[in-house]
Every structure is written in C-alpha cells, then in structure tokens.
Amino acid sequence: MKAKLILPVCVALALSACSSQRNVAEGNFDYLDIKPVKNLEGTDQLKLQNPTNKYQVPVIAPATQPALGAEVGIRPPMQVIAAAPGSRIEEGLRESRIYFDAIDGVANLKDSIWGHLIQVVEAFDTPYIADEEQGLIRLERFHHVVSSSRKSGFFNLLSNNRLEQASEQAIELRLTMASHGRSGELEAKLIDPAFFVDNQPQKLPMNFIRSFEADVLNDVSIAMERTYRSDRAAFTQKVVAVSLGTTGTGNAAFTLSTDFNSVWVLLPEVFQKLNFVVDDLNQSEGMYYVSYEPFGKRRWYHALAFWKKSQTGDLNLKNGTEVTFGVDEVSGTVYLTPQIDGVPLTAEVLAQWLPMVADAFGGQQ
C-alpha cells in the first residue's frame, strides 16, 4: 500500500514514527506484587454502613492469559496526518476522519479528494465498488500482510520459512461534502477485521483498527500534498463558460456552469484582464471589492487632474468606479452579480459586458 504511493512528507514525521516503535512498557511493575486483602471491618468507634449496592461494580470475567507488566503493549495508535493543503483533524474523535477545506489553487475540492482516494484504493489491488454521487467506496474483503520475518532455527534458515502476520478485512470509505462544496470530510471504517499469525487466528493487536484506518487516510492526504506541490495548475480549470441569467431574487447576473471554488480562484486573473483592481475580498461571504482602473492604478496626485475622473474604459465605467462582485453557487450554477453602491447592475449593462467577461474567463456559452 505504501510503496506505490507514499514518500515521507518531512523529517518530523519520520522521527515521530521512530519514537513509537517500542511496543512494551519499561520500568518497575510493583503492582504485580500486591497481595489481595480481606474485606474492610469496622471498629468500636466506626461502624460500617450496610451496603446498598447502588453503585455496584459489575463482575468481569478475567482473561485467561492477561497481559501484565512488560507484556502490556503501549504503542499508541497511528495518528491521522493533515498533510494535504487545507486539511485538518479534530483531536479526541473515536472515528478515523480527516477534514478538508478549499484553498487557493484547488478549483474542485470534491474531484481532487475523490481522484486521490481512487488512486489509493486501486493500490490495494482488490475489487471495490465506488459510488461517486454518494461519495462511498467499499473494498471487498482482502488479505493484507502486516509483517513477515524469518522463523528461528537452522532448518528454517536454509528453507527460508517465514512467520507471517496478516489481516483480513473489508474497508468502507465515505466522502461527505458540504452543500456549498468548499469543505468536506473523509471517514475510513474497517469492517470485520481478523488477525492471523502463521495462518492461525489471533486476537486483534491493540489499536490495530485505528492504525489501519489512519494509514489509509494518510495515504490520501499525502498523495494530495504531493500532487498539489508538483503540479498545482492541475487543480485549476482554465476555461469557464459564461452566460447571462437571473438570480433567485430577480437580479441580473453572469451564470457559470461550474463550482464556487473554480470561479473564486480564477476571478483575480479575470479582474486583471477587465482592468479591475482588487481592493478587498471575503471568501466566506463570497464577495470581491474592486475598483475600475482602465488607465492604471490611481495615485493620490491623480485627484488633482479632475478632468480624468470623467474618463471611461471599455466597460463604460468611469475611471475609479468601485464595484462589488458577489459570488454564489446554487445547484451547480455559480452566479456572479456586480453591484455599484449596493445596486445590482441591469441586464442591459451585463449584456454589454458579456463578450469581455467571457473572453476574460476564456470561453462563452
């Protein structure tokens, strides 16, 4: 699984992995020498109350061969690593999950996660069922070699007989995206795992399920990180079709058959082509605040040249006009709504802008 996909992200990850290789506790185990004591008895000055069994401790059958002292495994479970850009984890979750948020340069977050997820799943070389619409992948039950070491003894040395530790399990991976498509979560679940040593069934090692699930999620996260750094442009759509439409509130708007992230990351370049200068932006609210500067960025001394204020550019706007662009996605269509002084522009104005806006996006519908 790892050899095909994963390279170390950084030295820190390698060091943290090395620090958890020991699997047994060290030190003194004085508790092993504690002798059982009889029940408490009262004295002349202290009378014990009769038990009410209100907080009765349940009786638990002891293990036939309990792990004690140095036999107690102390290796912690593998942790999920937020290596992918825009990814994060939440501490304390019992489930194996990683969260993703859209960032600059990732045009379609869902497609990015899903593509790398398929890449990781196919590395198992195991039949699987994938439903992209539901965001669900399920791998059929398969055999996975955990470790293999040569058996002791001279004969085994000659014959190269090996002691194999292996597992059998199915895996379910579920990708859940927010309705706006700018965030999502990926969860891994191991289904009915079984563990074998030398083909003999054994009890699952401590933290086996959690570590296996985290391992799969880390493969996806690190693969995304590598792709993002090696070919960031692969995430960005270069051509977006533009047409005229109307928002749900009846305002004229440019409509684009794509997702919010694609439009958001392309808009700075689009504004530059249209001679807008970005003054501010707010991605959470989907707002760009720009100024129309067809003759170059205004300087303070330009205010003295009052005759230049009436100059207009190709968009038939006065030099220095401040425009607000609202970006909103509804049912797979992005609405780009320009406003001046809080008033949406008319359909007639947008129709005049359409050829230039479409050319800036690189296509027209």
The residue range of the domain holding 182 is 76-233
Give residue 38's pLDDT: 78
Q: Which residues are within 8 A (CB) of 98 and not within 5 positions of it... i.e. 6 or more apart?
A: 80, 82, 84, 87, 88, 89, 185, 186, 217, 220, 221
Residues 222 and 154 reside in one and the same domain = yes
Q: Are residues 165 and 287 in the same domain?
A: no
Position 308 scores a pLDDT of: 53
Residue type present at position 198:
D
- Residue 230: predicted pLDDT: 66
* pLDDT at residue number 300: 47
Whether residue 187 sits in one domain with residue 138: yes
The type of residue at 192 is D
Low-confidence ranges of the chain (pLDDT < 50): 1-22, 233-238, 300-302, 304, 307, 363-365
Q: Answer whether residue 33 is part of any domain.
A: no
Please say which residue of 195, 212, 233 terminates a domain: 233
> Does residue 199 share a domain with residue 257?
no
Nearest partner of 352 among 264, 252, 283, 218, judged by Cα:
252
How far is 233 from 235, CA to CA, in rounded Å? 5
Rg of the chain in Å (alpha carbons): 31
Q: CA–CA separation, 243 vs 355, rounded Å? A: 10
Task: Indicate the residue type of 356.
Answer: M
Between CA 361 and CA 20 the distance in angstroms is 51
* Residue from 236, 238, 215 nearest 227 by CA: 236
Size of the chain in residues:
365
If one counts the domains in the chain, the total is 2
Q: Do 83 and 223 belong together in one domain?
A: yes
Task: Give the amino acid at 29.
Answer: F
CATH at 323: 3.30.310.170
> Residue 266 belongs to what H/E stretch?
helix 260-273
pLDDT at 119: 92
Looking up tokens 């609202």, which residue turns up? 326
Answer whether residue 14 is part of any domain.
no
- The string of pLDDT tens digits covering residues 247-290 is 989 999 999 988 787 788 788 889 989 999 988 888 778 899 99
- The domain that holds 110 is classified in CATH as 3.30.530.50
Q: What are phi and psi of 228, to 5 degrees?
A: -60, -40
Pairing mode of beta strands 128-131, 242-246: unpaired
Are 93 and 220 within one domain?
yes
Domain ends where: 179, 212, 233? 233
